[in-house]
Amino acid sequence: DLALLEVAAVLLEKVWPEGRRLKPREVVAEFSKYLHDELDLMREAANCSQLRRNFKDSSLLIVPEVYWDWCGRKVMVMERMRGVPISQTPALLAQGTDLKALSRAGVEIFFTQVFRDGFFHADMHPGNIFVSFEHPENPLWIGIDCGIVGTLNREDKRYLAENFLAFFNRDYRRVAELHVESGWVPPDT
């Protein structure tokens, strides 16, 4: 029960000396927001449709088509997708999947979502990613469950690009500076 979590958060702040530093009320509020957003299947359907449009005609990623006539806040109907769960490496190898090509495609999908679209699937764990049975030599990702997505503005994209460059150049001081400059961590860190 969410109300119980809110009470527990307040108590945690009052009883435990480290409680306020952890910001439990903010954590519960954020959890509540995302939980309600993810349970609204019309929102998920819209996210799925947007991601599908962004990758229309892609040779890297397919996203199921949403059948809007049968969707509602508590029901979402979409195209059935068939593939091997990405976590099933033995099955992928058995069908001859080129794992290097699969990895390259994954990186390209990520960077395309972040830097081209500024709209990304924010829940890409192995349960939400499949690999198409077709063309194992040129594997096609299948993305499902768009209940959690993220958006990035121009400044967010710049920050991420600079962070990646600093990280790839092993300039960890710059990574830390970027975190402070972005406001992700306090300036006195």
Give me the active site residues, please.
Answer: 123
The C-alpha atoms of residue 145 and residue 115 are separated, in whole angstroms, by 21
Contact (CB, 8 A) for 116 and 146? no
Can you give the length of the chain in residues? 189
Q: Which residues pair with 132 in a beta bridge?
A: 83
**How many Cβ atoms are within 10 Å of 23's Cβ, its own excluded?**
14
DSSP state of 65: P
Neighbours of 81 (CB within 10 A): 14
Q: Which residues contact 94 (CB under 8 A, 6 or more apart)?
A: none
